[in-house]
Structure 1
Amino acid sequence: KSIVCRFGIPHSIVTDNGRQFIAQSFENFLQELGIKHLLTLVEHPQTNGQAEAANKVILRELKK
């Protein structure tokens, strides 16, 4: 909650193909908020690494 209050609703998110991210309820939630959902490719694990690196930067900044 505090992240959305502080920075607003994201325009897009990148996730892997985990069940929780491809569930219809999650897709509906994102659609209601107008968030574009980008899935990483199974054959391209580097993309997951980029997403993880971005998450670390975000978490580090939030702790300040």
Structure 2
Amino acid sequence: MCRYGIPKNIVADNGKQFTSELVIQFCEKYGIQNTFVSVEHLQANGQAESANKVILMGLKRRLDKEKKEWVNALPQ
């Protein structure tokens, strides 16, 4: 939030970290719309799945370069 500001919408699964009363109150206070997708059907959240794929590919490339020294590739 510090970098990009307050989001207009949060798309998440029904995990407790997203459905807690505290999070709901926070979202209401700042005008954030919550959209929940089924845990069994995460493909419904195509935007997040696409972003996850890009992140995973980047991690794989980085870790392939590091080979057995993958711990050194992790941020400090």
User: Scaled by the length of structure 1, what TM-score is found?
Assistant: 0.63
Larger radius of gyration: 2
% identical aligned pairs: 51
Q: CA deviation at 1:28?
A: 0.5
Give the gaps of 5 or more residues in structure 2: 59-76
Q: How many residues align?
A: 56
Q: Which runs of 4+ in 1 moved over 6 A?
A: none
Following the alignment from structure 1 to structure 2, what is the Cα–Cα distance between the partners of residues 52 and 24?
26
1:27 paired residue number = 24
Give the gaps of 5 or more residues in structure 1: none
Q: CA deviation at 1:53?
A: 2.5
User: Scaled by the length of structure 2, what TM-score is found?
Assistant: 0.55
Q: CA deviation at 1:27?
A: 0.4
**RCO higher in structure (CA 8 A, sep ≥6):** 1
RMSD: 2.7
The one-letter code matched in structure 2 to 1:24 is E
